[in-house]
Amino acid sequence: MALYLGLDSSTQSLSAVVIEISGSARRVVQTRSFAFDEVLPHYRTRHGVLPHDDPKVAMSPPQMWAEALDLMLGQLANDIDVRDLAAVSGSAQQHGSVFLNASATQVLASLDPGAPLVAQIRDVFSREESPIWMDSSTTQECAEITAAVGGEAELARRTGSRAFERFTGPQIRKFFKDAPAAYAATDRVHLVSSFLASLLAGQHAAIDTGDGSGMNLMDLASSQWWTSAVRATTTDLEVKLPSLAVPWACVGTLSRYWQSRYGYPAASVIVWSGDNPCSLIGTGLVREGRIAVSMGTSDTVFGVMNEPRVDESGTGHVFGSPTGAFMGLTVFQNGSLARERVRDVAHMTWPQFSQSIASTPPTAGGVILPWFEPEITPNVRVRGVRRYASSDDGDTVVRALVESQQIAMMLHSSWMNVDVDTIHATGGAAANREILQVMADVFGADVYQLEVANSAALGAALRAAHAHMNASGPSVRWEEVVGGFTEPRASSRIRPDAHRHAMYREWAKVYAACEAHALGRGSDPSAAIAQFRARFRDAE
């Protein structure tokens, strides 16, 4: 019997999934999850993020992630017999960076199993707070890096994305400019993923090519650091970056700390990756043709790409996929937290929120552009919710928000060029079937829920299994690894309503006109709205 552990350090929580694979038998042995705000309140985060006056700044404490890791491994060792653990891997929110000083190497290698992890690593940080993916404060640095490497198209062609504020390169450059002494004291710049893998292995871990492609620093074709981008970021970044590794690389074994403290074996630590690459595996998307929509803190749309088809509109990203191919990804910042804001203003529970969707006719609430925070897709730097043809009625607002979010996902992911007939839905909000019905109607696709809700943690466990099985035997295909874990539940299928889909195809044009207007790129959409209303007046 072999057990595999997948961890997921997301924006708001740490989750774990333990799976067993023996012969053809497959089962989920244990799942656990806890929210940072609740379990570690002393870090004073809100939804996992430190409150800040500037809406563009988003930081989290890396010590909180480390303390959560210690807590989780302790709990799992209580829950189950961990002696059969063969390999562990992880998933982490993408782009966030952890800055370590030169003492880290020694501290990681000599952790005392008798003392909590966090107490021993307090002094290894050259920056106490880590910028995370919600940070949008680096517009200037994006422009500088873009200019230095020869323009937006070149940066996108080489790294898979134009410069984005949250990407690690622009964030590193900002720190280099704003805090030169602290930057100089930095020995290693990790991603959240490679930082946590380093804590497990007791030595600096590599960055995998999936998470590495979210940095504006890696050459997608060669999977190596791209020297021009590295030099455009800071003067000496090459010596501070960890190495890059294929997504199935082993970066060490669980260190003596975990073995002596909780009784873990010297299980292989497989390089960690980003949550979106891990979710790709955890939703079973190991071949091109289907997409998944994840509605966690961020809403994301992604799918496998055999070739890196870079988005010429500059909206989406191409990342390395854990399978060795590529993945297309489009990210929306105002996802679950926007839904929560609207739910809270209307004083609703989630069941009441669902009821509002179900009881309100399509498009009745108009269009809501939910830019409570600066938005990634489309690029909105100054926050502010925009509403078109909407009323203050709580029910219609809820439906309008959900419709607008789904239409935005449909329109802005079309660059991926995938004929969408089936969507695998994941993330916390995928529990909500009324939201998924709107998704099905907007995309005109069948939507499925998955057996294991946390696809990022499951994907990490499956990546650990895949790497371990391929290291110790003949090569095992991805289909065999994910089989039995990621098939969508047939009974969960939500079919699109043909009439509503036809209506949404037209409403999507109205939405696009509203978005263009809000972005200052289009005229007043009132006429488009009136035309739509005249056409569909008696439709519902």
- Please state the closest distance from residue 329 (CB atom) to ligand XUL, in A: 6
**From CA 343, how far away is CA 435, in angstroms rounded?**
13
At 366, list the tokens: 């108009």
- Please state the closest distance from residue 237 (CB atom) to ligand ADP, in A: 29
- Please state the closest distance from residue 141 (CB atom) to ligand XUL, in A: 17
- Does residue 275 interact with ligand XUL by CB under 6 A? yes
417: left (phi over 0), alpha (psi -120 to 50) or beta: left
Residues of this chain, 42-101, that bind ligand XUL according to CB under 6 A: 93-95
- Does residue 432 interact with ligand ADP by CB under 6 A? yes
**From CA 516, how far away is CA 519, in angstroms rounded?**
5
- Please state the closest distance from residue 294 (CB atom) to ligand ADP, in A: 7
- Please state the closest distance from residue 301 (CB atom) to ligand XUL, in A: 10
State which of residues 136, 213, 298, 437 lies at the interface with ligand XUL (CB under 6 A): 298
**From CA 128, how far away is CA 50, in angstroms rounded?**
12
State which of residues 18, 72, 269, 429 lies at the interface with ligand ADP (CB under 6 A): 429
Residues of this chain, 317-346, that bind ligand ADP according to CB under 6 A: 336, 339-340
Q: Which residues contact 504 (CB under 8 A, 6 or more apart)?
A: 362, 363, 403, 407, 441, 442, 444
506 within 8 A of 484, measured Cβ to Cβ: no
12 binds, options ligand XUL, ligand ADP, none, Cβ within 5 to 8 A by partner type? ligand ADP
Chain centroid to CA 193: how far?
Answer: 12
Pattern 290-319, ligand ADP, x by CB under 6 A: ------xx----------------------
Binding-site residue total for ligand ADP (CB under 6 A)? 15
**From CA 107, how far away is CA 110, in angstroms rounded?**
5
- Does residue 404 interact with ligand XUL by CB under 6 A? no
Residues of this chain, 319-348, that bind ligand XUL according to CB under 6 A: 331
164 within 8 A of 170, measured Cβ to Cβ: yes
Half-sphere exposure of 105 (CA within 13 A, CB side): 7
State which of residues 3, 5, 11, 441 lies at the interface with ligand ADP (CB under 6 A): 11
- Does residue 213 interact with ligand XUL by CB under 6 A? no
At 172, list the tokens: 């590193």
Q: Which stretch, 120-128, 378-386, 422-430, 477-485, contacts ligand ADP (CB under 6 A)? A: 422-430
Nearer to ligand XUL, 297 or 449 (CB): 297
276 binds, options ligand XUL, ligand ADP, none, Cβ within 5 to 8 A by partner type? ligand XUL
Q: Which stretch, 219-227, 242-250, 370-378, 425-433, contacts ligand ADP (CB under 6 A)? A: 425-433
- Does residue 283 interact with ligand ADP by CB under 6 A? no
Nearer to ligand ADP, 159 or 404 (CB): 404
At 30, list the tokens: 């244990």
**DSSP letter assigned to residue 431:** G
Residues of this chain, 346-375, that bind ligand ADP according to CB under 6 A: 350
Pattern 12-51, ligand ADP, x by CB under 6 A: xx--------------------------------------
CA distances from 299 to 309, 313, 333 (A): 21, 19, 7
Binding-site residue total for ligand XUL (CB under 6 A)? 16
**From CA 250, how far away is CA 242, in angstroms rounded?**
14
Pattern 128-167, ligand XUL, x by CB under 6 A: -----x--------------------------------x-
At 402, list the tokens: 């959900």
492 within 8 A of 453, measured Cβ to Cβ: no
State which of residues 50, 431, 476, 516 lies at the interface with ligand ADP (CB under 6 A): 431
At 451, list the tokens: 């057996």
274 binds, options ligand ADP, ligand XUL, none, Cβ within 5 to 8 A by partner type? ligand XUL
**From CA 439, how far away is CA 405, in angstroms rounded?**
9
- Residue 393: other Cβ atoms inside 10 A: 15
User: What is the helix (H) or strand (E) element at residue 244, kind and residue range?
Assistant: strand 244-245
State which of residues 4, 7, 8, 11 lies at the interface with ligand XUL (CB under 6 A): 11
Sequence-distant contacts of 229-234: CB under 8 A, at least 24 apart:
229/145, 229/149, 229/155, 229/158, 229/159, 229/169, 231/148, 232/144, 232/145, 232/148, 232/149, 232/169, 233/145, 233/169, 233/170, 233/172, 233/173, 233/176, 234/172, 234/173, 234/176, 234/183
At 173, list the tokens: 């450059």
The residue number with the shortest CB distance to ligand XUL is: 94
**From CA 44, how far away is CA 37, in angstroms rounded?**
7
Nearer to ligand XUL, 366 or 428 (CB): 428
State which of residues 10, 138, 253, 449 lies at the interface with ligand ADP (CB under 6 A): 10
429 binds, options ligand XUL, ligand ADP, none, Cβ within 5 to 8 A by partner type? ligand ADP
Q: Which stretch, 7-15, 128-136, 256-264, 373-381, contacts ligand ADP (CB under 6 A)? A: 7-15
Nearer to ligand ADP, 61 or 296 (CB): 296
Three-class DSSP category at 190: strand
**Contacting residues toward ligand ADP, per CB under 6 A:** 10-13, 296-297, 336, 339-340, 350, 427-429, 431-432
**Contacting residues toward ligand XUL, per CB under 6 A:** 10-11, 93-95, 133, 166, 214, 274-276, 296-298, 300, 331
